[in-house]
Structure 1
């Protein structure tokens, strides 16, 4: 936002009765509860979400579905709604071009995620189904939001939801409340399909997260991470010596092998059993499991015992960039740790990632990841990721009660 736009925004907020603290929060989105309590949240306070100071007593759906509008909500001027076809490669390319120029969601402020066309095509073709919603004007895309149909287990209750992601507005239109229109429209579309609950994450603190997790990184190519500014060392430290701290031995576990189609059934059973320990996790069927873990975007390995799968672990691949510097990042994805410690699984995965020329593995503090963080030379990142439910109240959950990964 340039200075002229910012001054106009300040004047408008003052006229509307905002205090200086509230104006600051409007221009600098809150990242924690303390700063969020100063913000008015004119949109979110009208929505069926847990309020900032609300203590959840009874969990469950907030509003039952009644009188769902059959028509899209109105848009100003000559803007119009566009429902994209996930099977149409041109539509995917159109969305990819828009996101590559306008999507900035990432925990590290100085680095931007580089979502590739092939990655988006994989996400958009989830067999459960997806909503791809845009706002257009004169054949140009100005706003976009997606939502994958996802069956979740929330404190032992099976809940049909949409997993909302890629909310993005053209950077020149970000004070036009276009994001609220996108949220309302994807909500309406889901409601038309009898889905009333949404799941989403954000680096911003909104009303109100039921848990928040932190980013950690396990360096692999430490020298490159320092040279690109992703990691730092003391000015008096020797880079070669520091890099040795993150060296990996070349010990290969012969029972740790790349997941193949023949492993899917056993790996799926491991996944289902392992998810039972969590309070918030997806309830995938075997078709969705195979689609998510056996593809070109996710690297999945299984641990064998007498040729039978006893556990698995995976990561998905994305690059991040800053000032034309590219870092290859592996994001720790789902795993099971029934008979194999997560530390052993992760150490084997690190060796695979190194061979695949991954520079760093990024993970959050959910599932059993704290054990990895404590034992595997991980370094803390910047920022947090907050988890939200739309039209569903959930009591606060601890990190190790969560097993839901947003791509």
Structure 2
């Protein structure tokens, strides 16, 4: 959805403070990142064509000068906020990074000369044993995901108060089956499903979750906590509960001997290790237009859009079938091998991990394999999950059914694997064939749109399969770990 035209800035001397929104800050970030975006686009084009990436050498002096200018711009913005020349609004309640400046994370502009932890691990008896204090009207709780009543409470909190777009037209609508799937992988801990209730009536008003995960960054394997679903009731955003929730889930992770974490967000905090962009492929263009998710292009019509985004009636890949739980071993081996080429990616350590995350689950995840009919070897795999959005204030539609690209892997034949150009060419061709079938299967499952980030090898097929760039960006973060910057096509980690 195109952003609205920005208004001119008012001078602090003759006008009241200008209200800066999240859109304004995102525009500033986009302006600063123009050069990086051009480089990324050039690399993605090379990948799509199966050509080697040519890195342009940057003059260290010019790079240092550019960094200083960016840091000065950020500092100037901060100073203007503090003096009242401008006022920031619409951002997550993180204290304008005052909180993050106290945490073991990379700070803006900090160079990584050597990867490793920022703070050392400590013995359990040196970790704070008591929960962090809350304002007197609130109390901590553990949300029992296995209790139907409590999962409904969590669903209601997220449905009404979690992520929505800048124009307040769409809001993620997590189902109870989805939340149970997302929050109960092998090794999950109830103590990492942290809630805050009002002491007087026990109403659930805030939540944060952690789940155990094995994630590799470059050559280091981390057994860390994946943080997700940080949510505070809209009426309580001024209570500064978000930083306390983060500190509490961190404390509980430390008690289990876990000192690193991974998390994502649409906003820029100190400091992303990677930033990926969302792409959308229309499956039901008429509904998307009626929901104001898409617009009819100039000099086009709804009929033309329907024709453009029409998909085949049936998949075309020989040997394609739905994944079965007994496929877990082959899928795990195939997936881990494929993901090994990315700079940050999960490691599926057991078949139980694969069965939980990737075996087809009604209302949650769709997974398919390609099986060689002669050898019964699984040569390819792909999956997608469902995450609908509530459509706010629309008389005709209440929900948008969105599929999200999850994990996939292909086996590169030996003759193509011998040469990097042949490998890229085969990968592009094979993934395009498989993802074309994924669109067919998603359409059969009544999805309205298919979403994907420009991570992994997605850039090889998004243009050919008529994905369009969206306004959304997703930033990846590692807590308590110095990590070199990672380009989108080197990101192999998909977080819900």
Same fold (TM > 0.5)? yes
Question: 1:76 is matched with which residue: 102, 112, 135?
Answer: 135
Partner of 1:3: none
In structure 2, distance between residues paired with 1:233 and 1:105: 23
Note closer, same or farther for the CA distance 1:288–1:357 as it changes in structure 2 (3 Å cut).
same
In structure 1, distance between residues paired with 2:165 and 2:493: 17
Shift of 1:338: 2.5
* 1:337 pairs with 2:407: no
* 1:63 pairs with 2:63: no
In structure 2, distance between residues paired with 1:165 and 1:43: 18
Asked if the contact 1:212–1:387 (Cα under 8 Å) also holds between the matched residues in 2, the reply is yes
Deviations 1:257-312 (A, max 9, x none): 11112322211211111111111111122101111111221000111223321110
Asked if the contact 1:214–1:365 (Cα under 8 Å) also holds between the matched residues in 2, the reply is yes
Question: 1:293 is matched with which residue: 343, 354, 358?
Answer: 358
Partner of 1:176: 239
In structure 2, distance between residues paired with 1:40 and 1:172: 19
Shift of 1:207: 0.4
Asked if the contact 1:81–1:133 (Cα under 8 Å) also holds between the matched residues in 2, the reply is yes
In structure 2, distance between residues paired with 1:124 and 1:106: 24
* 1:320 pairs with 2:384: no
In structure 2, distance between residues paired with 1:63 and 1:352: 46
In structure 1, distance between residues paired with 2:183 and 2:148: 11
In structure 2, distance between residues paired with 1:105 and 1:26: 18
Q: Which runs of 4+ in 1 moved over 6 A?
A: none
In structure 2, distance between residues paired with 1:104 and 1:153: 27
Shift of 1:106: 5.5
Question: 2:80 is matched with which residue: 17, 20, 23?
Answer: 20
Shift of 1:25: 6.4
Shift of 1:168: 0.4
- Residue 373 of structure 1 aligns to a residue whose secondary structure is coil
Question: 1:308 is matched with which residue: 377, 381, 384?
Answer: 377
In structure 1, distance between residues paired with 2:491 and 2:346: 10
Partner of 1:262: 326
Which has more strand, going by share of residues?
1
Asked if the contact 2:158–2:173 (Cα under 8 Å) also holds between the matched residues in 1, the reply is no
Moved more, 125-134 or 359-368: 125-134
In structure 2, distance between residues paired with 1:119 and 1:217: 21
The higher radius of gyration belongs to: 2
In structure 1, distance between residues paired with 2:342 and 2:432: 19
Partner of 2:14: none
Note closer, same or farther for the CA distance 1:387–1:96 as it changes in structure 2 (3 Å cut).
same
Deviations 1:291-346 (A, max 9, x none): 11112210001112233211100000121122242211100000002246211110
Alignment of 1:1-400 (within 5 A): 19-22=79-82, 24=86, 26-29=88-91, 40-66=96-122, 67-105=126-164, 110-130=169-189, 131-137=192-198, 138=200, 139-234=202-297, 236-251=299-314, 252-284=316-348, 285-294=350-359, 295-296=361-362, 297-306=364-373, 307-322=376-391, 323-324=393-394, 325=397, 326-339=399-412, 341-400=430-489
Asked if the contact 1:128–1:288 (Cα under 8 Å) also holds between the matched residues in 2, the reply is no
Query: RMSD between aligned alpha carbons?
Result: 2.4
- Residue 148 of structure 1 aligns to a residue whose secondary structure is strand
In structure 1, distance between residues paired with 2:443 and 2:188: 34
Shift of 1:177: 1.2
Deviations 1:329-384 (A, max 9, x none): 10000000224621111011111111111111000010001112121111111121
Deviations 1:94-125 (A, max 9, x none): 21121112112558853211111111111122
Shift of 1:80: 1.2
* TM-score under structure 1 length normalisation: 0.90
- Residue 145 of structure 1 aligns to a residue whose secondary structure is strand
Asked if the contact 2:216–2:346 (Cα under 8 Å) also holds between the matched residues in 1, the reply is yes
In structure 1, distance between residues paired with 2:156 and 2:492: 31
Q: Which runs of 5+ in 1 are unaligned?
A: 1-6, 11-17, 31-35
Moved more, 246-255 or 345-354: 246-255
In structure 2, distance between residues paired with 1:189 and 1:349: 39
In structure 1, distance between residues paired with 2:164 and 2:493: 18
Deviations 1:2-34 (A, max 9, x none): xxxxx9x99xxxxxxx7434564642439xxxx
In structure 2, distance between residues paired with 1:390 and 1:96: 27
Q: Which runs of 5+ in 2 are unaligned?
A: 1-16, 21-77, 413-426
